[in-house]
Every structure is written in C-alpha cells, then in structure tokens.
C-alpha cells in the first residue's frame, strides 16, 4: 500500500528498489498497530529486548555492533560538484565518484531483507518551517527511532503533495564493514546515502544529516537558518515568556541547560523554564521582522551516561516510557537499564553494552560512554506549551558557549550582530578527559557547527552576516557564556546546572534594557551587582574574578582564531577579519 501518488517519490523509490533489491517493501504509516508489530518482530530476532513494563513502560533495549557506536566524522562526506563549495572543514567527495562507489556497495544490499519506506516531516506539517523527507532503510531499529524523533506518516505525504521538493534518504546496514562505511550528503541533490552503519547519528537520517547538513544548505539558499542549538523559554511571574537559543560543543552541558530547573530563589518567586528543543533550531524571520525558531524534531536523542536525578531530572523523566535505550547496561534482576552516573548502585547481575556478562567490580564500563536514549519530547516534564506551535517562538537572545578553564569570562555580550557572528565563529572548547587525546587542547567549533555545516564555513559566516542585515534593529542580542572557569587546582568557580539561570536572567535583563554593562576589550560585561547571588556560597569578589579578562590569554586566543581563519582563505567574510583585528588591537 503506497501512501502517495507523487510521481517523483514513486519514481525514486522504484529506482532505489532496483538498486538494493529488497525481498519486500513496507510503507510506514506511524500507526501504533504497525509499530507494535515491528517491535514484536525486532524482539523475536533479538534486535531489541523489551524491558520491564511496570518500571519502564513501552521501553526497549538495543545494542549496536561494538565497532559502530558513534558518528564517524572521517567517513562523513559532503558531495558538492565543486570541492571549494564543501570547504576546507568538511570531507569532500565528488558526487559522481560517491554515487558510483556507494552504488556498487548498495547493489543487492537488501536481498533477503525488507525495505521500509519512512515518510516524515521535520517541524510540524502545515508550518512555514516544515520540510519533508523520506528514508528508505532495512533496519527496524531505524524505523522505530525515526518514529520517535520525527513526525512520521501520511501527513508528511499530504504536506508534500505532488512537489519534487523532498529529501531522499537511503540507508542500508549491509555488513557493517568499517572500510566501506559511508555517510554521504549531496546538498545540491537533496540526497543522503548511508551504508554499513547501524548507529543512530549515522542512520537516523532526519537528525544531523538532514536537519543540519542538508538543511543548512537549504537555509542559505532560501534565507533562513538551520542551527545546532537548544531553544528554551523563561516565564516570569506575570506569565510572560522570553526565548533564548544556545549553541554549545559536546560535553558543555547543552541538554542540562535546555531542561534547566530554576534555583529556589527563582522557583519561589514564580519563574518557570520551558524546553522547546535540546539540539536543533530552525530559525526564520517572521512577519513581524523578528527571528522565530522552531525545534524541527519530535524527540530527544540524548547521551545516557551522567544523566541522573541530580544532573538532569527532566531528561531522566523523559526516558521513563516509550523510549529506546542503546548500548546501556541491562539489569537482569528487574529487567531495567543502568549506566555510569545514573546512581551509585551498579547492578550485580547484568549484561554490559557489548552483550557480555558484566561485573562492575573489575573496573570496566558497563554502558558505552556514547550510549543513548531516544525519548518522545512530550515525555519531558518541562516541555514548552509552544512545542507544537507551527509558527515557532520569537528569539530574544542567542548564546554561544564553550569549555574554557581561564580565557572566557562567565558571560559577555557582543557589541552588535557582526561582532556576535565573530564571537560565534571563534567558539572553542578545551578537550576534557572524555575526549580522546591530550587534555586542554583548544578545539575550534564555530557555532558548534563544524561537523554539521553542509557547505563552506566561510559562506556560512557570510550567511549569518546577511541575516543580521535583514533583521536590522530587530536582531536578537548575542552572548558568550563559560560555565567552566577553574581555579589553580582545577576546581570549577561557578556552580553551573540550575544556577546558570542567574546568568540567563542578566542576559534577558539586558535585552529588556534593565541593566547597564561594562565595556571591555572583548565585549560588554555585567556589573557585579546585576547577577543575583542570593543563596549561593559565593561572594561578589568571587564573581568579579569570574568576569576578569586577561589580555595575555586573549592575545593567544586571537592568534588561534587567525590560524583557524587562514584555513578558510578568501571565502572568509572581510567583516570577520576586521572584527579579529579590533580584538587584537584591544588586547595588545
């Protein structure tokens, strides 16, 4: 049964069927009846295991192959006709070569298997933001995850109508060969081809592949933005809500901020924090000339280790039902799951993420460090009442952040939009023990988009600058935060977590004209009295220390920015070079 008469869709599906040669083809309508059948089938083959229905209703466990546990940047390619359009920060492959190389791998890849056709929308159907994708896959795991992460079913085909404007995704597990693993994006063709992986980020093609790599290219051409950003709302006691988007590299507390729990001082006063999205924001200029954002996703694909009742109770509640857990510990005593950092009681009778009997006393990790939960966003206790608003929410401020031990102050404000784009382009984090390699190495990750921008990063910066020109005086203000400043012994100076709201309140106060700021060589800093420290074990001197700007460290950082900019050559907008020169002069 086909869900469409669209000749472009049907023609493409026939072409792909002829290539991969599946035994049978099933359209996914997203109905619970169909999904229940697929869950039962996945459990019968051992692809998934059903968990304790009383403790974790509707939850399942899945394990990927031990060699297939994360996004593989080295096997991810942007396939544009001209190499310079992919830019120096992406792996490039000529589209002709990519189609030929992968075509041979796909030939007959689904023999003896079923091809599932998943029609889905990113953002809400009927929304000005909506985009349609179709993913063809031979993995039930992919089908079930996509039905949590995106809006799947006939409405997607209604949204498309008879248009050819849809993103064509083809995924085959094949034999999970390492050397033949490819995740190829063809931005000029609205196409994604993924083969020889079964891991989420490489195979849930609506996620990073479409919502960022393909969408960022669409956004540049169509005059909007696809960004690696959370969206949160802060509601004041009078019931007014202001919205913020924020971009952070991994391991910088993005999900915790997206689902922030207000500290007592604000909760008692009647403030509430709402999560609109934890990972991706699509932004466009609304009819009122302001910037509006929508979360194009329908679920959370969160990292499990470290998620617990203290660090992120809302994330923990989100994965308490209707969730797929990947590569975590299976607690055999009560058929539930566990991971490092969940609590201090590792199960005694357990299977680790590789499917082996696990004894926590031997010092080995039970869950993979990148183990995941795929949970419906609607489960989140603080999900925004505007989550399903097809128009999105208006954005007051944009925040960039990273993990810097000494350089960046707790918070500073850019002088204007162009300076804000410079601040985002220079975003960096210092490596922690969690990342492989040396600790404390500065890694540039502009706008947290380095692995996800579907075209030349210099052109991407130029697009940001153009958006600012279009927004004019209605542009959101841009800020940089750093929750990770440390003392000489390496202890964090700022409490972080819910207390980050104190900084957000200063940011929103600035947007509303409530606070003055102090000019510094890098941008505008808060006055010490304007960040509320009530209830914190912290003095004004401590805060003043967190807001210092060390010119010597910033001169070193400016040299690092210049080195990064050099990679982009003549595609780097001149305006950003001017901003860099201003910084260099300011910190001499």
Spacing of C-alpha 229 from chain mean position: 6
Determine the Cα–Cα distance for residues 340 and 306; give it in Å rounded to an integer: 6
- φ/ψ of 182, rounded to 5, equals -140, 135
Q: How confident is the model at residue 250 (pLDDT cuts 50, 70, 90)?
A: confident
Q: In this structure, are strands 191-195 and 167-172 parallel, antiparallel, or unpaired?
A: parallel
pLDDT digits (tens, 9 = 90+) for 163-191: 999 999 999 999 999 999 999 999 999 99
Compute the CA torsion angle 132, 149, 208, 339 (nearest 10 deg). Answer: -170
- The pLDDT confidence band at residue 194, using thresholds 50, 70 and 90, is very high
Handedness of CA 300, 317, 274, 414 (dihedral sign): negative
Three-class secondary structure assignment of 64-112:
CCCCCCCCCHHHEEECCCCHHHHCCCCCECCHHHHHHHHHHHHCCCCCC
pLDDT category at 437 given cuts 50, 70, 90 is: low
432 — pLDDT class (breaks 50, 70, 90): low
Q: What is the pTM of this model?
A: 0.97
Whole-angstrom Cα distance, residue 315 to residue 392? 22
Backbone angles phi, psi at 534, to 5 degrees: -50, 130
Output the DSSP codes for 332-348.
Answer: TTTTEEE-TTS-S---S
Largest CA distance in the chain: 70
* Whether the Cβ atoms of residue 96 and residue 8 lie closer than 8 Å to each other: no
Output helix, strand, coil percentages for the chain, rounded to the nearest 5: 35, 25, 45
For residue 23, the model assigns a pLDDT of 98
State percent of the chain over pLDDT 90.
96
pLDDT at residue number 475: 98
Catalytic residues: 252
Nearest alpha-carbon partner for 464 in 425, 427, 426:
425
* Digit-coded pLDDT (tens) for 377-398: 999 999 999 999 999 999 999 9
Does 447 have pLDDT greater than 80? Answer: yes
d(CA 229, CA 254) in angstroms, rounded, equals: 8
Spatial distance between the Cα atoms of 498 and 47, rounded to a whole number of angstroms: 38
Any idea where the domains of the chain sit in the sequence? 7-30+72-222, 227-298+385-586, 300-379
| Of the options 2.40.50.100, 1.10.3730.10, 3.40.50.2000, 3.90.228.20, the CATH number for the domain spanning 227-298+385-586 | 3.90.228.20
| Per-residue pLDDT tens over the stretch 267-307 | 999 999 999 999 999 999 999 999 999 999 999 999 999 99
CB atoms inside a 10 Å sphere around CB 365: 15
Q: Are 213 and 254 in contact (CB under 8 A)?
A: no
- Residue 198 backbone phi and psi in degrees, to 5: -125, 5
Q: Which CATH architecture has domain 7-30+72-222?
A: 3-Layer(aba) Sandwich (3.40)
Query: For the segment 68-105, what is each residue's pLDDT rounded down to a tens digit?
Result: 999 989 999 999 999 999 999 999 999 999 999 999 99
Rounded to whole angstroms, how far apart are CA atoms 277 and 285? 19
- For residue 322, the number of C-alpha atoms closer than 13 Å in the C-beta half-sphere is 17
Q: Considering the chain, what percentage of its residues have pLDDT values greater than 70?
A: 99
Which long-range CB contacts under 8 A does 414-418 form with residues at least 24 apart? 414/477, 414/478, 414/479, 414/480, 414/523, 414/524, 415/523, 415/524, 417/465, 417/468, 417/471, 417/475, 417/478, 418/465, 418/468, 418/575, 418/579
pLDDT at 410 over 80: yes
Per-residue pLDDT at 345 exceeds 70:
yes
What token pair was written down for 117? Answer: 């056709």
Pairing of strands 329-331, 350-351: antiparallel
Q: How many CB atoms lie within 10 A of CB 40?
A: 11
Q: How far apart, in whole angstroms, are the C-alpha atoms of residue 314 and residue 3?
A: 36
Please report how the helices 457-471 and 574-586 are oriented relative to each other, as an axis angle in degrees rounded to 10.
Answer: 90
pLDDT (0 to 100) of residue 565:
98
d(CA 430, CA 424): 16
Confidence of residue 435 (pLDDT cuts 50, 70, 90): very low
Residue corresponding to tokens 């950082």: 557
Average pLDDT over residues 464-482: 98
Mean confidence (pLDDT) of the chain: 96
- Cα first-last separation, the chain: 69
* Three-class HEC string of 376-437: EHHHCCCECCCCCCCCCEEEEEEEEECCCCCCCCCEEECCCHHHHHHHHHCCEEECCCCCCC
Q: 442 exposed, middle or buried (CB, 10 Å; 0-12, 13-18, 19+)?
A: middle
How far apart, in whole angstroms, are the C-alpha atoms of residue 497 and residue 500? 6
For the domain bounded by 300-379, which CATH number is listed?
A: 2.170.8.10
Is 253's pLDDT higher than 80? Answer: yes
Query: Strand, helix or coil at 441?
Result: coil
In 3-state terms, what secondary structure has residue 194? strand
- At residue 37, the 3 state secondary structure works out as helix
Least confident range from 54-58, 129-133, 235-239, 250-254: namely: 250-254
pLDDT at 433: 53
Over the Cα atoms of the chain, what is R_g? 24
Residues in CB range of 575: below 8 A, 6 or more apart: 418, 421, 465
* Stretch (H or E) spanning 478: strand 477-481
């Amino acid at each position: 049964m086909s869900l469409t008469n669209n000749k472009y869709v049907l023609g493409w599906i026939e072409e792909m069927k002829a290539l991969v040669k599946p035994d049978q083809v099933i359209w996914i309508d997203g109905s619970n009846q169909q999904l229940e059948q697929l869950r039962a089938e996945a459990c019968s083959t051992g692809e998934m295991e059903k968990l304790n229905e009383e403790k974790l209703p509707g939850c399942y466990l899945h394990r990927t192959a031990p060699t297939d546990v994360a996004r593989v940047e080295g096997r991810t390619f942007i396939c544009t006709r001209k190499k310079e359009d992919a830019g120096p920060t992406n792996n490039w492959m000529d589209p002709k070569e990519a189609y030929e190389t992968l075509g041979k791998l796909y030939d007959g890849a689904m023999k003896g298997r079923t091809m599932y056709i998943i029609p889905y929308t990113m953002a809400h159907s009927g929304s000005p933001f909506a985009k349609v994708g179709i993913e063809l896959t031979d993995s039930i795991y992919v089908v079930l995850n996509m039905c949590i992460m995106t809006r799947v079913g006939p409405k997607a085909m209604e949204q498309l109508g008879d248009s050819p404007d849809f993103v064509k995704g083809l995924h085959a597990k094949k034999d999970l060969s390492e050397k033949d693993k490819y995740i190829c994006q063809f931005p000029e063709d609205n196409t994604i081809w993924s083969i020889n992986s079964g891991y989420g980020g490489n195979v849930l093609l609506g996620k990073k592949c479409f919502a960022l790599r393909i969408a960022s290219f669409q956004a540049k051409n169509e005059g909007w933005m696809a960004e690696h950003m959370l969206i949160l709302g802060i509601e004041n006691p009078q019931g007014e809500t202001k919205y913020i988007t924020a971009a952070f590299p991994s391991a910088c507390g993005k999900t915790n901020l997206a689902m922030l729990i207000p500290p007592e001082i604000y909760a008692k006063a009647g403030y509430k924090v709402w999560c609109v999205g934890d990972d991706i924001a699509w932004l466009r200029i609304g009819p009122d000339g302001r910037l509006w954002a929508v979360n194009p996703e329908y679920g959370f694909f969160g990292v499990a280790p470290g998620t617990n009742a203290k660090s992120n109770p809302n994330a923990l509640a989100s994965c308490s039902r209707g969730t797929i857990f990947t590569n975590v510990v299976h607690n055999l005593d009560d058929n539930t799951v566990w991971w490092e950092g969940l609590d201090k009681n590792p199960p005694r009778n357990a299977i680790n993420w590789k499917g082996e009997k696990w004894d926590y006393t031997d010092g080995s990790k039970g869950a993979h460090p990148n183990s995941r939960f795929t949970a419906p966003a609607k489960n989140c206790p603080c999900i925004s009442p505007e989550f399903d608003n097809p128009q999105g929410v208006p954005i007051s401020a944009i925040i960039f952040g990273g993990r810097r031990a000494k350089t960046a102050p707790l918070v500073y404000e850019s002088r204007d939009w162009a300076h804000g784009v410079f601040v985002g382009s220079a975003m960096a984090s210092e490596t922690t023990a969690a990342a492989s390699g040396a600790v404390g190495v500065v890694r540039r990750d502009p706008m947290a988009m380095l692995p996800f921008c579907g075209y030349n990063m210099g052109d991407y910066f130029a697009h940001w600058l153009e958006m600012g020109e279009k927004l004019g005086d209605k542009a959101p203000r841009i800020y940089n935060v750093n929750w990770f400043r440390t003392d000489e012994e390496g202890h964090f100076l700022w409490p972080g977590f819910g207390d980050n709201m104190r900084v957000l309140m200063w940011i929103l106060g600035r947007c509303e004209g409530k606070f003055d700021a102090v000019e510094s060589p890098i941008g505008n800093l808060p006055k010490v009295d304007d960040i509320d420290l009530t209830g914190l074990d912290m003095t004004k001197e401590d805060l003043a220390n967190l807001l210092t700007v060390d010119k010597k460290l910033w001169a070193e950082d400016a040299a690092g920015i210049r080195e990064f900019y050099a990679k982009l050559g003549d595609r780097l907008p001149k305006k950003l070079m001017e901003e860099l020169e201003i910084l260099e002069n300011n910190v001499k």
